[in-house]
């Protein structure tokens, strides 16, 4: 079965050559082989089209006529770029600051703080400094999607975070991805790896930001391992420019007694697509996914989750809220798979959407594939409008209509960020949501 769409491989021949040497400065044979193999695998399938169920709400046809080539190096830093980095940076967080400009790690903007048991570096540095390990790591990814293959073929950088066993990182790591004007008509592809070893814990705050009126394609693929009894929390915000296509695909292996939490807020970009695919493969693993997406004026946000319960007695909980104003569109697709042996699974999923205007669209599609017979699986999906009675109640107390709406919308999404453990991150989420409403 092929779903060839929009792209043929030959248009990428030149890009592949560029990708061979541009990021690391020199050709590396084993890496080139991985790139070539991945490209072949991508060309075999092509871009997913609307007939692929997982992509039915995402229209990639606007990408048809565009190449989105590989960018050889990051653009110059200007005042505008520096200002949005400052905006995104939380200065009360004392951990490392990692900045990517146009998909390339920028050492001069980053502050890597040495901490016992933490390895934190860019993918290119990792490839250059430890050839053998890097090869193993890059070959270890078990991507199946054609877009993940395209990413492996053409990625230009990324990050590697490894936390050794029995290490609790004292401060969260902040990662800021910025796309500037040089990335116009280019694709920015990063490949990232996070490994939190046995009995360790880490927090990562990741922001995706960009300037307006730049037609680019940001595509990140991240492979995560949360090992036995380890804890990983990720806090993402996406505020890309208004012409950006933003895609993030994250695969997470969750081991025995491990705990993975993923928070996200999607506000920017022309089209955003967030894919989160946790695999619970150890007893008593826990996954919490929390996210909100706010769209208007041609924004479209897609969230696709695929929760795989492969072993018994694991828990997963998903809470997603969408708010769509005039011209906004969203799709939430939440797949939960419970294998035959995964008895006593407890899997919950909730997606509620609020339409603030008649010209707004929210799609919600829970999909439960349950092959075990002794499980608790709950899901709920709603699409509604603001409660007129509540609005009048607030107005009757003196609140202006706009303030009343803001209060209700804020309350609607607040649940998503209730458990955020870092106060400044929680405040950032709510602040961004408030700013979107105003």
- Interface residues with another protein (CB under 8 A) are 387-390, 392-401, 403-404, 407-408, 410-412, 414-415
DSSP 7-36: --GGGGHHHHHHHHHTTTSS--HHHHHHHH
Structural tokens at position 34: 């991985």
Residue among 118 and 408 whose Cβ is closer to another protein:
408
Give the ranges where 130-175 is alpha helix by DSSP (H): 131-140, 146-154
Kindly state the smallest distance separating residue 414's Cβ from another protein, in Å.
5
**C-beta of 7 vs 320, nearer to another protein:** 320
Report DSSP state, residue 203. Answer: E
The minimum distance between CB 392 and another protein, in angstroms, equals 5
CB of 322 to another protein, least distance (A): 16
Shortest CA distance to 336 belongs to which of 327, 328, 345, 344? Answer: 345
Q: Smallest gap, in angstroms, from Cβ of residue 299 to another protein?
A: 23
Both tokens assigned to 393: 């109640």
Helix (H, G, I), strand (E, B) or coil at 84: helix
81: left (phi over 0), alpha (psi -120 to 50) or beta: alpha
- CB atoms closer than 10 angstroms to residue 39: 21
Question: How far apart are CB 379 and another protein at their closest, in Å?
Answer: 20
3-state secondary structure of 278: strand
**Cβ 403 to another protein shortest distance, Å:** 6
- Shortest reach from residue 312's CB to another protein, in Å: 34
Residues 390, 22: Cα–Cα separation, whole Å: 57
Please give the structure tokens belonging to residue 29: 């044979």
The smaller minimum CB distance to another protein, of residues 389 and 438, is found at: 389
Instruction: Considering the complex, state which of residue 181 and residue 410 has its C-beta at the smaller distance from another protein.
Output: 410
Q: CB of 407: closest distance to another protein in angstroms?
A: 6
Torsion of CA 129, 135, 137, 141, to 10 degrees: 150
Beta bridge partners of 163: 118, 196
Which residues are within 8 A (CB) of 353 and not within 5 positions of it... i.e. 6 or more apart? 321, 322, 323, 324, 330, 332, 362, 364, 382, 383, 384
Comparing CB distances to another protein, the nearer of 371 and 400 is 400
Nearest CA among 317, 427, 420 for reference residue 378 = 317
Closest CA to 272 of 264, 283, 263: 264
Query: Which residue lies nearer to another protein by CB, 318 or 406?
Result: 406
Of 296 and 352, the one with the shorter C-beta distance to another protein is: 352
Nearest Cα neighbor of 302 from 265, 272, 328, 268 is: 272
Please say which residue, 321 or 428, places its beta carbon nearer to another protein.
Answer: 321
Nearest to another protein of 22, 391 (CB atom):
391
Instruction: State in angstroms the smallest separation of the CB of 366 from another protein.
Output: 22
Measure the CA–CA gap between 185 and 202, rounded to whole angstroms: 35
Cβ distance to another protein smaller for residue 2 or 396 = 396
Q: How far is the CB of 116 from another protein (least distance, A)?
A: 41
């Amino acid at each position: 079965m092929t779903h060839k769409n929009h792209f043929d491989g030959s248009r990428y021949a030149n890009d592949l050559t560029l990708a061979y040497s541009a990021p690391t400065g020199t050709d590396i044979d084993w890496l080139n082989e991985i790139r070539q193999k991945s490209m072949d695998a991508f060309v075999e399938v092509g871009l997913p089209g609307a007939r692929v169920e997982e992509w039915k709400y995402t229209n990639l046809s606007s990408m048809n006529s565009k190449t989105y080539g590989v960018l050889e190096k990051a653009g110059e830093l200007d005042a505008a770029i520096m200002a949005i980095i400052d905006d995104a940076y939380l200065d009360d967080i004392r951990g490392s600051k990692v900045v990517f400009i146009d998909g390339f790690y920028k050492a001069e903007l980053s502050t890597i703080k040495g901490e016992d048991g933490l390895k934190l570096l860019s993918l290119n540095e990792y490839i250059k400094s430890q050839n053998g390990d890097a090869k193993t790591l890059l070959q270890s990814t078990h991507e199946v999607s054609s877009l993940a293959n395209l990413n492996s073929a053409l990625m230009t950088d990324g990050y590697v975070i490894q936390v050794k066993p029995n290490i609790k990182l004292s401060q969260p790591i902040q990662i800021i991805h910025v796309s500037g004007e040089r990335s116009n008509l280019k694709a920015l592809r990063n490949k990232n790896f996070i490994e939190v070893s046995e009995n360790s814990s880490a927090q990562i705050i990741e922001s995706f930001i960009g300037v307006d009126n730049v037609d680019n394609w940001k595509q990140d693929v991240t492979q995560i391992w949360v090992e036995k009894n380890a804890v990983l929390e990720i806090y993402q915000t996406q505020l890309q420019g208004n012409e950006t296509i933003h895609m993030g695909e994250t695969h997470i292996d969750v081991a025995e007694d491990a705990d993975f939490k993923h928070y996200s807020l999607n506000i920017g970009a022309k089209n955003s697509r967030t894919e989160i695919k946790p695999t619970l493969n150890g007893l008593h693993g826990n996954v919490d996914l929390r996210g909100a997406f706010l769209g208007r004026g041609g924004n479209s946000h897609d969230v696709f989750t695929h929760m795989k319960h492969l072993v018994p007695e694991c828990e997963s909980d998903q809470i997603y809220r969408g708010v769509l104003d005039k011209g906004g569109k969203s799709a939430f697709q939440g797949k939960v798979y419970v294998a035959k042996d995964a008895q006593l699974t407890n899997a919950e999923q909730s997606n509620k959407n609020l339409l603030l205007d008649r010209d707004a669209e929210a799609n919600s599609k829970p999909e439960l594939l349950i092959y075990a017979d002794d499980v608790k699986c709950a899901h709920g999906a709603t699409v509604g409008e603001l409660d007129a009675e509540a609005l009048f109640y607030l107005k009757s107390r003196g609140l202006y209509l706009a303030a009343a709406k803001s209060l209700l919308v804020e309350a609607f999404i607040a649940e998503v960020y209730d458990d955020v453990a870092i106060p400044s991150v929680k405040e950032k989420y709510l602040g961004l949501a408030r700013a979107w409403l105003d």
